[in-house]
Amino acid sequence: MTRDIAPAAPEVVLRHEGAVDEETLAYARTKIDAVVSRPGLPDVTGEVRIVRVAAGHAGRPWSATADLRVGRRQVVVLAEEATATEVVDELQDRLRRQTDRAAHLRDRDRRTGTPPWRGGADSGE
């Protein structure tokens, strides 16, 4: 069964499958919101899915995937771990790195003029 959890920021939806408890979902929502609502990031939209497989023999029964749009860039992150806390923490770390990278690329894309040290408009020449 898949359920949607209402996000604090409605742009990123948190879904889950399997036996995922409310405490884990609240923890995940807090960690996701901490990443996507940072100052300086462009608009972030998309979906995060937390899954707990029922098979008792699985070494890493917890997985989390995120498919987000950060401005015009797509960010896809996957994490698999043995516990709910570990998978959420790993997801947060990877999301932070990827959203930082996407925001940095966005800033680089906005710089279209010639830098001043290469004879651009502000070079004083």
Domain assignment of residue 120, yes or no: no
Asked whether residue 122 is assigned to any structural domain, the reply reads no
Backbone angles phi, psi at 57, to 5 degrees: -90, -5
Domain assignment of residue 14, yes or no? yes
CA distance 21 to 84: 9
CATH number of the domain that residue 54 is part of? 3.30.160.100
Pairing relationship of beta strands 44-52 and 62-70 according to DSSP bridges: antiparallel
Q: Is the pLDDT of residue 93 over 50?
A: yes
123 within domain boundaries: no
CA distance 52 to 80: 10
- Determine the Cα–Cα distance for residues 80 and 93; give it in Å rounded to an integer: 13
Q: Count up the domains in the chain and report the number.
A: 1
Quote the domain boundaries for residue 51: 2-110
Per-residue pLDDT reduced to its tens digit, 26-74: 999 999 999 999 888 888 999 999 999 887 666 789 999 999 999 889 9
> Given pLDDT bands bounded at 50, 70 and 90, which one contains residue 88?
very high
Q: Is residue 22 part of a domain?
A: yes
Burial of 23 (0-12, 13-18, 19+ CB in 10 A): exposed
Q: Which amino acid is at 100?
A: D
